[in-house]
Structures are given as C-alpha cells and as structure tokens.
Amino acid sequence: MLPLLVVHGGAGHIPSDRVQDSVLGVCAAVRAGYSFLTAGGSSVDAVVEAVANMEDNPRFNAGRGSVLTARGDVEMDALVMDGRDLSSGAVSAVKNIANPVQLARLVMDKTSHACLTAGGAAEFARQMGVQEVSTESLITDYSRARWKKNLDPGAKPVECQMGKMGTVGAVAVDAEGNIACATSTGGMLNKMEGRVGDTPCIGSGGYADNSVGAVSTTGHGEAIMKVVLARLILFHMEQGKSVEEASDLGLSHMRTRVGVWAGSSPWTPKGPGPHASRPIRWPGPLHVTKRCTGAFIKESITLNL
Amino acid sequence: MLPLLVVHGGAGHIPSDRVQDSVLGVCAAVRAGYSFLTAGGSSVDAVVEAVANMEDNPRFNAGRGSVLTARGDVEMDALVMDGRDLSSGAVSAVKNIANPVQLARLVMDKTSHACLTAGGAAEFARQMGVQEVSTESLITDYSRARWKKNLDPGAKPVECQMGKMGTVGAVAVDAEGNIACATSTGGMLNKMEGRVGDTPCIGSGGYADNSVGAVSTTGHGEAIMKVVLARLILFHMEQGKSVEEASDLGLSHMRTRVGVWAGSSPWTPKGPGPHASRPIRWPGPLHVTKRCTGAFIKESITLNL
C-alpha cells in the first residue's frame, strides 16, 4: 500500500460556494506531493510539496490567502517533521515569503535549531536566498473582507474562522516506509501581532515518528496546544490503540478538558490506512464533509483523483 | 504535605567556583515563591515569583545573565501553565524586558492567545506597561566572555553550554491542590537570531495538569522538543507509572531515540514528593550534584532553607 500521502485543507464548515475550489485544491496538492513519492522522493519531499501547493492556492489559510492580523498584516507559521530521526523545522510569525513550509524545511536541514521566529527567520530566509514577496501578494480580497468584518468590536473572530478556511497539512509515508508530516497556516483571523499558534509548536501542530505514525492537526490553535494534540494521539497509538481509537481518545480528551473540537489526520504504518477523526472523515479516497476537505492517495487509487 | 514548590536552576555540570551562588540562588527563589503559597497565593503566583527571582539573579541563564545570541544580543523565552484548566502563556525571542515569565503570565491572563513572539510580544509588553530595560542591563561579564569564546569557528556552543548555566524552572502545588509550572531561559549559547527552543513550546518546556502533575524541563532544547519531553513524562504518569518510572521512561526514550540526556522536575499530587530524573536528583530538601542545582520546599522543611 506504499507510498501514501494524506492532505487536509483545514477544519470547519465550508461555505457551499467554496466547496468546489477546496476539493480541487486538495486534489491538486495530493497529486503534486504524490508525484515526488512515485519518483522515489522521500516522505519529507512529498509533504513539503503538497503543503507548498496549498500555500500557493489562495483558497486556503496558508501562504497566499492567509488570514490577516489585527493590523492587516500577514504572519505565517509552518512545521515539518521527519519521522526517521524526529528532526523537525519550524518558523513562526514569518512575513513576506510565499512558502513558509519550505523555509521550515531549511531550518531543519541547514541549522542546528528546530524553530526560527519573526525577524530572525526573515534573516535566515535571506541567507538561504529565499525570494522576498510583497505582503500585498499574499492577501486576497476574501481575506481582506473577513479582516474588515472582524474589526468590529462585537466580532467573534474564532467563531467566524471555524470552517471558512483552515490550516493545511499533510502526512506521508514513502516507499521505504519513512514517515513525515507538515503543517502550514496564516493563523487565527485578526490575531494579535506576534501570535504563535499550534502549527509551529512541535507535538501540537504535528508530529511524526517512524515507529508510531504521523499526525497533522487543524482547528483552534490555542485549544490544540492545551492538550498537545498530535503527540497525544500518537501516545495512544503507542499504547496499542488503533488509529481510530487513538484519534477519538485525543479529541475526546480535548473536548472534555478544554471544551473545543479539532481535527487531525493521523496515520500509522501498522493500520489499515489514513483516518480523520471527528469532525473530519475521509471514508473514501477523497471525501468532503461540511466540516473539512481532505484527500488521500496511494498507488491503487491514483487514477481516481 | 501542601503547599509545595520545586525549583531548578538548570541542567549540567556546574563549575566548582559557581556552585555556592547557584545554591544560594535556588534557595532564594524557592523561599520567594513559597512566601506566596503560605500567604494563600496560587501555584501560578508561586512559580512565576520563583522563576522571576532567578531571572533577576545573574547566576542563571534567564533574564539578567542570559546567554547571548550569535550577534551578541539577548533573546529570551518563557512559559507558564495553569493545571486547573490547561491555560498557558508563553513568549519567545523577547528582548529588553527583565522578567519574561511575568510577560508570559500576562499573555495567559490578558489575551486570547497562548504565545506571542518577538516584536508582537514587545508591543504587548508596552501595552501592559511593562518597563523596557537596556540590553546591556541583561548582560553579565560572564555571558559576554562565553559568547566571545564561542565566536571561534571551531567552538562547540552546545557542549560548552551544558552545565555552566541552564534554563530555570519551577513546579508548585498550592493549598487548594492546584498545580502550575513555569520555565524561563536565555536559550542556547551563540544561538541564531530568532531561535526558539523548547521553553515556550508547550509540552516540551513544561506542562501542568491538575489531574496528573507538572513538569519543567532543562537541557538541550532541540533534543527535548524532539520527544515533547514534559508531556511524555506526564503521559506515562497518566498510564499509572510512578513519578520516578515516568521520568526515567521519558528520559530513556530521549536517549535512545535522540541520543541526548536532559533533566526534568516532575511532580504529582499522587506521589510521595518531587522527583528529578537522572542526571538531576534531589534526594533531600536541597541537593546539589555536579549536574544541577535544585531545591524543593514544603511546610515541614521550610526552616531548613
């Protein structure tokens, strides 16, 4: 059943007029990432490619299309993790680059650190020759309209955000059985300048370990961080739970202890295939619910997408 | 046995000429925090006070006395977590403030977010009326000398750092049985600008949950992050392991999977008292090893310190 790639386009209710583009977006992303896997690329190559594809797609809250900060700026977070040796790279509150997930990978590959933030991350990007892009090029009419709507003192950005556009992520296993995950986001609507959410926080925004599996999360970042959701789900898998049981246990704990739901896309080499917990489900190779768009791909179903 | 407070002054070998000041430092910190507990203060009050006390003490790598970045600047990280409802606050890469742990607490108490970084955190500090201090006031002769030594191309900052001065942290339980943790650091010697380590990363630098216990970690941040160490230890405690077993399991996993040791100070309301894993041990109310300085305090032994 290898190689395999799962992508998600974020949690929450998708407005009906945006469903089709979301479906096309996750299909394009999963195809882009899978082409690396079939060409002998690694799982890290695949998740970075799939997530970068969604960063380039203005329909998702990552890269171009990111939600705006309270001041109308774009600050993005991203994470990538290699399940072979648990190495990871992350960036937080980065501006003026098109693909934060690629910069996160450079942090993993080219530094002795696991996370760079804000100005230091920007300086590193310049050293690596990453092209600078204008803030305007990352902003869409849709993101600006939502930002304006949420400047109202009575606005509820968290409730407004849920489902309209979400964090994107991917988990993959390559032909050699190596596992990786990547997650990227513009964060929360109208967030404070400098807000860092779950995405670049290892164990919350994602986690990958060859000996267990991988998870990429999406939802209300501050709630996901309270339970360190990705690592929590993998703990349960380590204890012998199935992917489904582990995912449900993690999310149930989150609802009980924090009162908020989230989504996750865990995968394990021991299990039957990818699983997305309530409220995100992919019962087939590609499935869209009112709450999420996601896709998974493996050799036998490549032609379906 | 309540209330109780445990503090640590960082992992690693302490040079003999610095042992006495480290001992005095953790004693002063534990007394400062404990005075809040005996006056009816919360565990959050106590850990913030104890950690702020060590930030003010130039003998520790947090606040004044922080190690310097590659460029010779001071960038600090801090975390606080309230075990009652899993709420937390963190700051990363903050400059020009004396007490990052107090700013982390303001993030927890006054915003809807869990972490603010760099310039956004500085802006929030100004809004909260936090006094700005000069970079020079945070730098000691010792930290500058170590920085210069590690500018040499052949220098090994990670090896050099281990034990000379470490991240500081505290865990506490108050008279009502509520648990909290706090951790603060200047990070790694000669780190890149914008480097974020384990300290502000929830689950890595610390974790507190009333229903399980609390942990504050110290050691090589990038290695701690790979295993999400604080949450890992508490997960084993949730599975029924003793504090000692859970801590040893977490650290053994880290050594096996990552090849690096770290220290932690977990505590659980179910167990007999505080425990510090290899290579940090506090077999008595105050104990100093070649690898760490730490102290714990509770009613029966207050007068010993």
Hey, of B113, B127, B199, B207, which one would you mutate to test binding to chain A, going by the most A CBs within 10 A of its CB? B113
Interface of B with A in 254-283 (CB under 8 A): 257-258
* Terminal-to-terminal C-alpha distance of chain B: 17
B238-269 pLDDT, tens per residue?
999 988 888 889 888 988 888 765 555 555 55
A10 or B275, which is more confident:
A10
Contact A88 B120 (CB under 8 A): no
pLDDT of residue A275: 45
The dihedrals phi and psi of A249, each to the nearest 5 degrees, come to -65, -45
Which has the higher per-residue pLDDT, A84 or A269?
A84
Interhelix angle A100-110/A43-56, rounded to 10 degrees, is: 150
- Residue A14 has what pLDDT? 67
pLDDT band per the 50, 70, 90 thresholds, residue A136: very high
For the residues of chain B, what is the DSSP string, one character each?
--SEEEEEEEESPPPGGGHHHHHHHHHHHHHHHHHHHHTT--HHHHHHHHHHHHHHSTTSSSSTTPPPBTTS---EEEEEEETTTTEEEEEEEE-S-S-HHHHHHHHHHHSS-SEEEHHHHHHHHHHTTPPP--HHHH--HHHHHHHHHTTSTT--HHHHHTTTS--EEEEEE-TT--EEEEEEE--STTBPTTB--STTSTTTSEEEETTTEEEEEEE-HHHHHHHTHHHHHHHHHHTT--HHHHHHHHHHHHHHHHS--EEE--B-TTSSS----TT----SSEEE-SSEEEEEEEGGGGGG-
Among candidates A119, A122, A203 on the partner chain, residue whose Cβ is nearest the Cβ of B231: A203
Strand pairing class (B115-117; B87-94): parallel
Q: Is the pLDDT of residue A283 over 80?
A: no
Q: Are B172 and B179 in contact (CB under 8 A)?
A: yes
Tens of pLDDT along B184-231?
A: 999 999 999 999 999 999 999 999 999 999 999 888 899 999 999 999
Task: Determine the average pLDDT of the residues in A3-7.
Answer: 88
| CA–CA min distance B23, chain A (Å) | 31
pLDDT at position B163 over 80: no
Look at the domain A4-303 and name its fold: Glutamine Phosphoribosylpyrophosphate, subunit 1, domain 1 (3.60.20)
Chain A positions touching B203 (Cβ under 8 A) are: 201, 203-204, 228, 231
Q: Do A118 and B203 count as a contact with CB atoms less than 8 A apart?
A: no
| In the predicted structure, residue A276 carries a pLDDT above the cut 50 | no
Enter the tokens of residue A160: 């407004």
Confidence of residue B299 (pLDDT cuts 50, 70, 90): very low
pLDDT in tens, B58-111: 999 999 999 999 999 999 999 999 999 999 999 999 999 999 999 999 999 999
CA–CA distances in Å: residue B211 to residues A96, A101, A183, B85: 43, 36, 30, 10
Does residue B63 or residue B286 have the better pLDDT? B63
The residues of A carrying an active-site annotation are 167
**Which tokens in the block code for residue B29?**
């910190």
Calculate mean pLDDT across residues A18-25: 82
| Higher pLDDT pick, B256 / A135 | A135
| Alpha-carbon gap: A283 to the closest alpha carbon of chain B (Å) | 30
Asked if A194 lies within 8 A of B225 by C-beta distance, the reply is: no
| The pLDDT of residue A42 | 97
Nearest CB among B120, B188, B204 relative to A194 is that of B120
Where do the structural domains in chain A lie, given as residue ranges?
4-303
Block residue for tokens 């003490």: B57
pLDDT tens digits, one per residue of A218-246:
888 999 999 999 999 999 999 999 888 88
Give the pLDDT score at A212.
Answer: 92
Residues of B in contact with A112 (CB under 8 A): 158, 222
Query: Can you give the pLDDT at residue A298?
Result: 45
- Any A CB within 8 A of B41 CB: no
Contact call for B119 and A124, based on CB within 8 A:
no
A266/A293: higher pLDDT: A266
Task: Report the C-alpha gap between A222 and B230 in whole angstroms.
Answer: 18
* ipTM for the whole predicted complex goes beyond 0.85: yes
What's the confidence (pLDDT) of residue A262? 58
Nearest to B207 by CA among A228, A90, A231, A251: A228
